[in-house]
Structure 1
Amino acid sequence: MTSKNALAAICRPVSSEEWRAHVIESLDALESSCVVVPCWFSHPGGNLPASRLRAMWHLSDRRDQRIFFEDDTTVLDNFKDRTRLLGDLGQNNCTLEISEIKNHDNGPFCFWIDLTSTQSDKDEDKLSFVDDCVGLNILSSPPAPTLTHPKTAYEGQPYTVTCTVPHTCPSHVPKLTWEQQASAPQVTGRNKDIRYGNWESESILTIIPEEKDDHTEITCTAQFNGQRTSSKTMTLYVKRAVNYNHIIIPTAVAVGTAVLFGLLCVLMVKKYK
């Protein structure tokens, strides 16, 4: 039975509404790291208890080629201990994590669910969303960080550099570290959901540059799950603080001399009068 026929068989006795799965169509996945595939399903009525639901992820339209199932003895050997369901089925969340990504883990992977509380194998008791699958674009090398910063730093004034790197493994966020020579650096960071299964790890470096820091390098390194790393380097250009002493001191001397000379002139005039 096709997925559409199975869907019709389920929906006819229950409601005219449709049961649907919502799966991200495509995601980048770094080899040796992990990928988290967002997945939700909807159905007529309220939420069903998780005890009534059995979920499975399988290769394309081959239900016998399972990459995740509650009975792990039926899972393909290549995927055993590498997949887990992060979502709560009782909340209609079927999000899947695949760890230790291999270069052949490109899918497509499809979601399937059993809506009965029994072990029935009848097609009309199941839903398979073969039109809602995810394909993975396997990356052999990690993406390089992006550095955002002002072109010039000013001596004695706070200077900020932001390092960001994209990823699809929010359960193991890339670790961002800095290499630089300035004194007393301050670092803050966060992991941002930029939607559709994509995330961005961010680290912000703040320093107070000195003259000695001019033309030094600042490097941000991203360490991904699976020990893969990538880096980005920038050169710091520090503009010296404006020093007016070469103007103030001669001016003060000249003014002082003029005042002193004026006082002497006044005294001399009074004396001869």
Structure 2
Amino acid sequence: MKQLISTFDNWLLFIFHFPVIFATVLSDVWKAEVVSELKTLVSSCVVLPCKLQYPGKQLPDSRIRGIWHQQAKHDQRIYHEDSTEIADSFKGRTRLLGHLGEKNCTLEIDEVKNHDNGPFCFRAEIPSIDKYSFVESCVALSMMSAPEKPKLEQMKTLEDGVPATFKCSIRHTCPSHPPTITWSRSNSEATLSNRDILHGNWEVESLLIFIPTEKFDFTDLNCTVSFHGGLQSSVSSLIHVKRKANFLHIIISVVAVLGTSLLFGGVCYIICKKYR
């Protein structure tokens, strides 16, 4: 009887813990999160964001091998820790930016060629345990042979002697070597920032503050973006500076009007008196 009760208790204990065990097994799956498509500039670089999930506990980098390969041909590897395993056209141009032990499989492709279209897939290997190719989660690249024009924003009204703010920005997919921005006003104060706008896209922007004067009226302000790899793109805006009204101008205008009125009135008086 005691044995029967003990067996029944063990069965209840198993039923109670089964959902927990089952949930743990389901959570220990292979999974990779990537961006399905990215626009990239030829000759620059592109960073492919990648997050990894693998079975079991977290492992050190040394216990995991990361490989990136062509979707259609698994033996066409674009990244491997052993450089002799990498396809000749990608040798020296790829590197892992993430730490596999931290489940980050992010890849950089440098000196992008117009044939680097992909799609590219990640493969993880845990030697003597398991391995998996994420062929359902791959990245395709859309090539741009020339960069887009930057976006230039400015205040609607510029006044002589009043500080003005200008913003020049452009999107890119090369955060490891972000573009630089220069202005035609070299003696002005500018700040540069680079922010993640998600899905593998970044935006670099420069804020310029300078004090316009009359000499800048009807002149061009140029913003030039220089990309990693050597390509450039620029945009310009024609500046209109509103002159600042001052008392001297007002006094001169009033005196001129009064003088004209007095002169005209005097002439009229003389003429009327002469012919009366």
Which amino acid counterpart does residue 110 of structure 1 have in structure 2?
C
Quote the offset at 1:31 in angstroms: 0.4
Quote the offset at 1:188 in angstroms: 0.9
The residue number in structure 2 matching 1:113 is: 124
The 1:246/1:203 distance shift into structure 2, 3 A limit, reads: closer
**Pairing partner for 1:126 from 98, 116, 131:** 131
Map 1:26-105 onto structure 2 (within 5 A).
Answer: 26-105=37-116
Quote the offset at 1:148 in angstroms: 0.6
Quote the offset at 1:196 in angstroms: 1.1
- Once residues 75 and 247 of structure 1 are traced to their aligned partners in structure 2, the CA distance between those partners, rounded to angstroms, is 77
Quote the offset at 1:45 in angstroms: 4.7
Quote the offset at 1:49 in angstroms: 1.6
Query: C-alpha offsets along residues 148-182 of structure 1, whole Å, 9 cap, x if unaligned?
Result: 1112210010011100011111111111111138x
**Pairing partner for 2:170 from 165, 175, 186:** 165
Partner of 1:63: helix, strand, or coil?
A: coil
- Once residues 130 and 189 of structure 2 are traced to their aligned partners in structure 1, the CA distance between those partners, rounded to angstroms, is 58
Q: Which runs of 5+ in 2 are unaligned?
A: 1-21, 259-276
1:238 aligns with 2:249: no
RMSD after superposition: 2.0
Partner of 1:212: helix, strand, or coil?
A: helix
- Once residues 177 and 91 of structure 2 are traced to their aligned partners in structure 1, the CA distance between those partners, rounded to angstroms, is 19
- Once residues 210 and 78 of structure 1 are traced to their aligned partners in structure 2, the CA distance between those partners, rounded to angstroms, is 54
**Pairing partner for 2:160 from 134, 155, 160:** 155
Which amino acid counterpart does residue 205 of structure 1 have in structure 2?
L
Which amino acid counterpart does residue 99 of structure 2 have in structure 1?
D
Which amino acid counterpart does residue 50 of structure 1 have in structure 2?
D
Partner of 2:47: helix, strand, or coil?
A: strand
1:178 aligns with 2:189: no
The 1:209/1:62 distance shift into structure 2, 3 A limit, reads: same
On the 8 A contact 1:152/1:236 being kept in 2, the answer is: no
Q: TM-score, normalised by structure 2?
A: 0.79
The residue number in structure 2 matching 1:146 is: 151
- Once residues 112 and 46 of structure 1 are traced to their aligned partners in structure 2, the CA distance between those partners, rounded to angstroms, is 18
- Once residues 175 and 242 of structure 2 are traced to their aligned partners in structure 1, the CA distance between those partners, rounded to angstroms, is 39
Query: C-alpha offsets along residues 125-144 of structure 1, whole Å, 9 cap, x if unaligned?
Result: 21110011000001100111
- Once residues 208 and 45 of structure 2 are traced to their aligned partners in structure 1, the CA distance between those partners, rounded to angstroms, is 27
Quote the offset at 1:46 in angstroms: 3.7
Quote the offset at 1:48 in angstroms: 1.6
The residue number in structure 1 matching 2:208 is: 205
1:215 aligns with 2:208: no
Q: TM-score, normalised by structure 1?
A: 0.80
Quote the offset at 1:44 in angstroms: 4.5
The 4+ residue runs of structure 1 with deviation greater than 4 A are 246-251
